[in-house]
Amino acid sequence: MSDLERIYGLHAVEALLRHHPKRVKQIWLAEGRGDPRVQALLQLAGQAKVRVGQCERREMDAWVEGVHQGVIAEVSPSQVWGDAMLDELLDRTEGPPLLLVLDGVTDPHNLGACLRTADAAGALAVIIPKDKSATLNATVRKVACGAAEVMPLVAVTNLARTLERLQQRGLWVVGTAGEAEQELYDQDLSGPTVLVMGAEGKGMRRLTREHCDFLVRLPMAGSVSSLNVSVATGVCLFEAQRQRRRGRPAS
């Protein structure tokens, strides 16, 4: 089974069965789990003709690091997209695109949280550098609660060159920096936008910063000087979403 990955948690496994059932080769359930959520999972597995087995919870604890909720799936390797995927996504999107760039975010928990928020806020894709960055693994999928299966994650060789290419396609690159003069809420994010978030603690790299059209900061009213990158990402993405929804008639 060395060529397979183990994905765990109800949300992550359910999302795989819904969106990429062919990737799922085997599902293991902890003995004694037969609640309604598991029954719904079994129904999806049956529709996809995926084998389901039972195992002692103690043995499953040794398979993965984290809370597996009594559900583990053995799946074909994760899919991370390359540079060419960006052009394909932009060519088929309608309306002003919103892209999220994570410049050197190495904590898989933060990457998973950012993928979840990006999906919720309507981002087109999440872009990361191939080097010195977290990538898709079981922890990321668990934290993302299914968003890792639907939100394209694009790993690029040269982030600065990618930003240049996106600018040439008419997107504005907005980077976040604590020392920026302009606040997030004064920046127009309603058009085609690339939002760049820096690494935990260090922020954006110098070359990435130089390729930003605008720099913005979050107004901090308390004693702390910064937010966790996944929290800051949520604030910024939903401000972009708010601006894009502004002016629409109430449903």
User: Known binding site: residues?
Assistant: 198, 218, 227
Strands 182-183, 214-217: parallel, antiparallel or unpaired by DSSP? parallel
Write the single-letter amino acid at 11: H
Q: 53 pairs with which residues across the strands?
A: 28
Q: Which residues are CB-contacts of 243 (< 8 A; sequence separation ≥ 6)?
A: 188, 189, 190
Annotated binding site for S-adenosyl-L-methionine: 198, 218, 227
Say how far apart CA 133 and CA 227 lie, in whole Å. 19
Say how far apart CA 187 and CA 121 lie, in whole Å. 17
- Three-state DSSP class for 209? helix
- Per-residue burial over 13-25, b if 16 or more Cβ lie within 10 Å, else e, is bbbbbeeeeebbe
Q: How is residue 60 written in tokens?
A: 């499953």
